[in-house]
Amino acid sequence: MAPSKKKHAREVRRDKFREKALEQFDRVGDRLEGRGRTILYALAGLVALALLAGVYSWWSGRKAEEATRALSRVIEIADATVSASPAPAVPATTGLTFTTEKERAERVIHEAQKVENKYGDPYRSIARYFRAANLLTVDRAKGISELEALAGSGEAEVAARAKFALAQAREADGQYDAAAALYTELARAQSPAVPVDTANLRLASVYEKQGKRSEAADILFQIAKTAREAKGQDGKPIAQSAAAREAAQKLERLDPTRHAQLPAEPAAANLPF
């Protein structure tokens, strides 16, 4: 009976960790939308990475819980508020505030390095990924070098996320051909860490920046069309992903004529699930 209770307690802690981390990534996305997409995409999906890697199944007992708490701390710091003049009481989950993005990134790097030094995989690889993503703010060249190394690592999910972050960095630096090649590779790989629609959405963005408006419109049209026509096993429409909705919005701006050719958006797609 005792082992069963311990197992149940671990499951409860895992669920709480998952919910907490998902909420934090949502806030990171809201905060960085439109002004820091490289870091946003570098950090997005780390919860999925942790779950896919099976952080609770690799080790058991105290060591695994200790490592997960340490990794959770890294996530909390990455989600901390940045404000040049913080108010006396900031409504942040962690209570932490930093005056600059660089200051926060340096703290994340420090905490992630401690996880790398103390624990094995998958914790080490995920922590290294966090460190590399935040190095883009502190030492961009070194961050890119770290991401390149991770992109070829044996941890498939970490490698895919690192490759996506690297593609974002290439795009931000105006290296559009290199970025397009990485996004194309990710879309073809169909990795669960980087959804196909997400990779294709960024590829369309690169094409638009290159002046390839027709190619960009084709990709956006296909993403939105596939999402609107998708149905579940029960025959009912499937809720559209954020990437699919964004694709439709971008297509309307880029090519209104092509947008008008999209299938009608199912009413069920707008219902809460």
Examine the domain organization and report whether 72 and 120 are in the same domain: yes
Inform me whether the pLDDT recorded for 218 exceeds 70: yes
Mean pLDDT value of segment 48-77: 68
pLDDT of residue 96: 82
Number of domains observed in the structure of the chain: 2
Examine the domain organization and report whether 150 and 260 are in the same domain: no
- How far apart are alpha carbons 77 and 95 in whole angstroms? 10
Which residue's entry shows tokens 């966090």? 130
Inform me whether the pLDDT recorded for 47 exceeds 80: no
pLDDT of residue 107: 94
Taking only the tens place, the pLDDT of each residue in 82-121 is 887 655 544 444 468 899 999 999 999 999 999 999 988 8
Is there a domain that residue 183 lies in? no
- How far apart are alpha carbons 116 and 165 in whole angstroms? 19
Mean pLDDT value of segment 8-13: 51
Residues facing 97 on adjacent strands: 81
Tokens of 137: 């703010």
Tokens of 251: 């297509």
Examine the domain organization and report whether 228 and 162 are in the same domain: no
- How far apart are alpha carbons 171 and 153 in whole angstroms? 22
Q: 250-253: list long-range contacts, CB under 8 Å, 24+ apart.
A: 250/201, 250/204, 250/205, 250/220, 251/217, 251/220, 251/221, 251/224
Is there a domain that residue 61 lies in? yes
Examine the domain organization and report whether 153 and 78 are in the same domain: yes
Taking only the tens place, the pLDDT of each residue in 220-264 is 999 999 999 998 888 888 888 888 999 999 999 999 999 999 999
Inform me whether the pLDDT recorded for 49 exceeds 70: no
- pLDDT category at 139 given cuts 50, 70, 90 is very high
Examine the domain organization and report whether 33 and 104 are in the same domain: yes
Phi, psi of 241, deg, nearest 5: -75, 165
Inform me whether the pLDDT recorded for 60 exceeds 50: yes
Of 8 and 158, more confident: 158
Computed over its alpha carbons, how large is the radius of gyration of the chain? 20
Inform me whether the pLDDT recorded for 188 exceeds 70: yes
Tokens of 182: 């990485």
Containing domain of residue 153, as a range?
2-173
pLDDT of residue 22: 42
Examine the domain organization and report whether 46 and 151 are in the same domain: yes
Are the beta carbons of 64 and 58 closer than 8 angstroms?
yes
Question: H helices of the chain, where?
Answer: 2-32, 37-43, 46-53, 55-58, 62-78, 101-118, 123-138, 140-151, 156-172, 176-189, 196-209, 213-229, 242-254, 256-260
Least confident range from 25-39, 77-91, 109-123, 159-173: namely 25-39
Mean pLDDT value of segment 142-163: 90
Are the beta carbons of 46 and 78 closer than 8 angstroms?
no
Of 5 and 194, more confident: 194
Tokens of 201: 């959405």
Inform me whether the pLDDT recorded for 201 exceeds 60: yes
Q: Residue 37, exposed/middle/buried by CB under 10 A (0-12, 13-18, 19+)?
A: middle
- What is the model's pTM? 0.74
Inform me whether the pLDDT recorded for 148 exceeds 80: yes
Examine the domain organization and report whether 210 and 134 are in the same domain: no
pLDDT of residue 34: 40
Examine the domain organization and report whether 27 and 79 are in the same domain: yes
